[in-house]
Amino acid sequence: MNIILTIAQGVYQRIIKSRILYVIVVFCLFAIAYSTLYSAVTAGEETKLMKDIGLAGIAVAAMLISIMVGSTAIPAEIESRTIQTLISKPVKKHEFILGQFLGSVYVSLLSIAIMSVGFIIILAIKTHALNLIMLKPLILICFEAIVLVAVSVLFSTICSSMVSSILAIVVYIAGHLSYQIPFLVERAGNVVTKFIGLFLYYALPNLQYFNVKAPAAHGICIPWGLVFGVILYGAIYTAVMLLVSLVIFKNKDFA
Amino acid sequence: MKSAKASIQIIIAIMLLVGLMPLGNTLNNIKEDAGLADRFIQRPALGFDNIAADILWIKTIQYMAGIKKADVKSSNITYEMFERITDLDPLFTGAYTLGGLAIAHKTPAKSLILFDKAIAHNLNIGWRIPMFAGVVSMHNMKDYDKSAKYFALASEVKDSPFFLKRMQALAKARSGDLGTALILWERLYNSSDSASVQIAKRELVRVAAEILKTSTNNKLRNKADRIIKEIL
């Protein structure tokens, strides 16, 4: 466990130096703060607009950061050849993968936490109330980020950081559209198309589960059962991605 | 040994993935029950549907502000814009309200489509939108039966104002269903709402007199006669 945490710490120290991370976080906070100025053109819906912009901004930033840190973690170690030093030491490959994953997750969650606190404070100043209903969508954004980190880590065990970033973005897009597959499968006449459709539906992460931004912005209570169910879904999907990453990584030769 | 371990890991991964199937179905059911189910829409916005709706909302406000003289054409365009906004964000009550009321004068049928959509998509719609639908049906469409249904729907909402029941009775009377109107006004007359009692008294007399003048139904005539005697 100590080795995993040491590797995670190393990943954190490397990524935290990246300027792009700060740019994303500051830009997101700026966008949220700027949304308070829209009141003149929103016809009484400025609070809703602010909540929408805040949650969407954090979700986009979380996606970018997760994919960025997840995709670069392993390729960066390979390019800098530190992986050979690490692997030659008594560091097992699963410890290495878990360390990279945890370090990346830590950076992602830290960024989301900073943006979320900023968002809640700005919203509280605007509405004179502590909008704790926003916590549930923010929690689910965190878990979506964890799934994306796991997906990015999986791709980064196979390809370069650039390619794995692109693939992870494709999974993000497909994951948000996958809920439509059953509707299309119903209409497909071909058995092969139906099979492929269903395979994709279950193999891709259904990221729409993590999306409760709209009801939260409208003040609708999201059941805790749904939140815990989605967290469980995210945890299982992350475990699957890490297991597959491990299998691929174990068969890699770094000599 | 190495490949056996890898195979076991792959099998575990597949089993976990299979385990996600029932969990996914459960999550879909929870979302459905909470009224948060994902819809098959034509413009999927990757989970940012509400932001797209907000942008369209701002554009629609700008468009409406630029209308110099409202006509059917501008009303139709406004309807299409609100239709798209509410497709993207079906919980956007403000869009249904503003859209429905803005086009009620020129295109009342489309206004009702928007209000019906609001009622269909929102579990906790409140009483205002059914009331607006009732008013549009009554004043712009002259469809009093439909209007009475909307007012009935609005009056069933918890904490809705008492005048909605009066509106329902009024719409029923105007639709020609004097029997139901009589029952509704009688109920209001016997209610604890002092404002309604006074109005109900006046309306009961008016409806009962109308029944005595026009109705051939003896049972209804007797009831109207009894009510008039009781009140006066």
Q: Are A86 and A7 in contact (CB under 8 A)?
A: yes
Mean pLDDT of chain B: 82
Q: What distance in Å separates the CA atoms of residue A226 and residue A56, rounded to the nearest whole number?
A: 20
| Closest C-alpha among B171, B216, B47, B100 to residue A215 | B47
pLDDT level of residue A240 (50, 70, 90 thresholds):
very high
pLDDT score at A59: 94
Q: How many CB pairs under 8 A join A and B?
A: 125
Q: What distance in Å separates the CA atoms of residue A8 and residue A98, rounded to the nearest whole number?
A: 8
CB under 8 Å to A211, separation ≥6 — which residues?
A59, A140, A176, B47
| Closest C-alpha among A169, A177, A156, A168 to residue A73 | A156
pLDDT (average), residues B77-90: 92
Out of A42, A207, A244, the one facing B58 most closely (by C-beta) is A42
Tokens of B187: 């109920």
Tell me if chain A has a CB within 8 Å of the CB of B11.
no
> Are the Cβ atoms of A229 and B12 closer than 8 angstroms?
no
CA dihedral A103, A105, A106, A111 (to 10 degrees): 130
A87 or B1: which carries more pLDDT confidence? A87
Q: What distance in Å separates the CA atoms of residue B226 and residue A175, rounded to the nearest whole number?
A: 69
Distances (CA, A) of A235 to A146, A147, B19: 8, 8, 12
User: Complex ipTM, two decimals?
Assistant: 0.80
A59 CB neighbours in chain B (<8 A) are 47-48
Tokens of B60: 């629609």
CA distance, residue A4 to nearest chain B CA (Å):
20
A44 or A221: which carries more pLDDT confidence? A221
Position B39 pLDDT exceeds 60: no
- Min mean pLDDT across A56-60, A167-171, A239-243, B205-209 is at B205-209
Tokens of B87: 């497709």
Return the amino acid letter for A8: A
> Are the Cβ atoms of A240 and B17 closer than 8 angstroms?
yes
- pLDDT tens-place string over residues B90-101: 888 889 999 999
Distances (CA, A) of A107 to A17, A73, A172, A236: 11, 11, 19, 21
Q: What distance in Å separates the CA atoms of residue A47 and residue B52, rounded to the nearest whole number?
A: 16
pLDDT (average), residues B114-129: 85
pLDDT score at B204: 78
pLDDT level of residue B199 (50, 70, 90 thresholds):
confident
Tell me if chain A has a CB within 8 Å of the CB of B109.
no
Tokens of A233: 């879904």
> Are the Cβ atoms of B10 and A247 closer than 8 angstroms?
yes
Looking only at Cα atoms, what is the longest distance across chain B?
100
B231 or A27: which carries more pLDDT confidence? A27
